[in-house]
Structure 1
Amino acid sequence: MLARAADITRSPGDPKVLSKGASSSLGASDRLARNLGWFSIGLGVVELVGARRLASLLGMRGAEGLIRAYGAREIAAGMMSLSANPNPGIKSRIVGDAIDIVTLLAALRHGNPRRGNVEVALLAVAGITVLDLICQKGLTSRHARAPGPYRDYRDRSGFPQGVNAARGAARKERQAPEDKAGF
């Protein structure tokens, strides 16, 4: 499905993606980040659409706007987690998990008749937080630079024959007579 959607942005001369094989370039942490991204988008949609029901289930009536804001945050984090560099998305998910835990802890008050639901939600968020942390650790270790000296490109100019040859070519171009009459 995504391959067909990608064909929309291609020029007529570009090759078409006929099928997508198993991706060996994605490690376990990359696949986990992708799955967490889709989970985040799904949860965000539920929070946006069902904010009133969630607030009722958690004994947090009046917090529907907050739940919708959390849903928008989840969708944004999910989209970032699906990008080529999922690190910012997973980090955003971890911060969001912390915010969710603090919010749920506030709802865990003794007067809340839905306290049991809040406890279940807290356990679920804690479990997802563990997955987010495992994913972040895996992404960091998989995509980190190898220890050792960094590459030093200070001696490179970007000109294959050197800067002086490039300057000479520019001087020759300026000295050549120009034909202003015809284009």
Structure 2
Amino acid sequence: MKRHSRSSTRSMSPADKLARGLGWLSLGMGLYQLVAPRRLGRALGMPQRHNKIRACGARGVVSGIGALSDNPTRAIWSRVVGDVLDFSALTFALKRHPSHKENLYLALTAVGVLTIVDYGCAKALSQRHAYQGGITPDYSQRSGFPGGLKSAWGAARAEEGQAQLPPRLPAPHA
């Protein structure tokens, strides 16, 4: 994973910055699910589901690490899928364990809000990073001068009286 300096963080798009925050959130929640699955299971009325909670935690850690990468698009889409799975599991738990409905409603609300945020972020990232997963365009024939190199050399030679130019260099070969 490439480390980002302060200046490269400033040049990130808002979607990339949001993905970075969602990555840290995934890591934190995932680690909590891995470390304290029984406690979380009891709070949600799912005391016998600690292995499933650990699996969700592992998924969160993996997507969190991916969200901290240079192109977090796939990791954020995986969060969207994970959110849908979590929402389904919590809805099922609400039907089976209505005695914990306050905690389950709170968890469903949090997952619902995060699903909307994750989906919006994933969609924005997909648009921003659209070409990184596909074929890179061939720019080898472009010189960077709108009129071509000959035009640029001609313009420079026309101004020769104002500045001393080095002798003409040979054109670079591809």
Letter in 2 for 1:76: V
Structure 2: gaps spanning 5 or more residues? 140-171
Q: Counterpart amino acid of 1:100?
A: D
Q: TM-score, normalised by structure 1?
A: 0.68
For 1:41 and 1:80, the matched residues in 2 are separated by 10
Letter in 1 for 2:88: V
| Superposition deviation, residue 43 in structure 1 | 0.2
Contact 2:45 2:97 in 1 (8 A): no
Aligned length: 138
**1:64-92 deviation digits (Å, cap 9, x = unpaired):** 01000100000000001111110110011
Sequence identity (%): 42
Looking at secondary structure, tell me which structure has more helix per residue: 2
Matches within 5 A, 1:2-151: 20-21=6-7, 23-109=9-95, 111-145=97-131, 151=137
- Structure 1: segments with no counterpart, 5+ residues: 7-16, 154-159, 163-183
8 Å CA contact 2:73, 2:129 repeated in 1: no
Whether the 8 Å CA contact 1:30–1:86 is kept in 2: the answer is yes
Q: CA deviation at 1:116?
A: 1.5
Match for residue 170 of structure 1? none
Does the C-alpha gap of structure 1 residues 107 and 78 become closer, same or farther in structure 2, counting only changes over 3 Å? same
RMSD (Å) for aligned C-alpha atoms: 2.7
Deviations 1:105-128 (A, max 9, x none): 110116431111111100000001
**Structure 1 residues 151 and 20, CA gap change in structure 2 (3 angstroms):** closer
Contact 1:109-1:115 within 8 A present in 2 as well? no
TM, length-normalised to structure 2:
0.71
1:41-79 Cα offsets, whole Å, 9 max, x none, are 000011011101110000011000100010000000000
CA change 1:74–1:110 in 2 (3 A) is closer
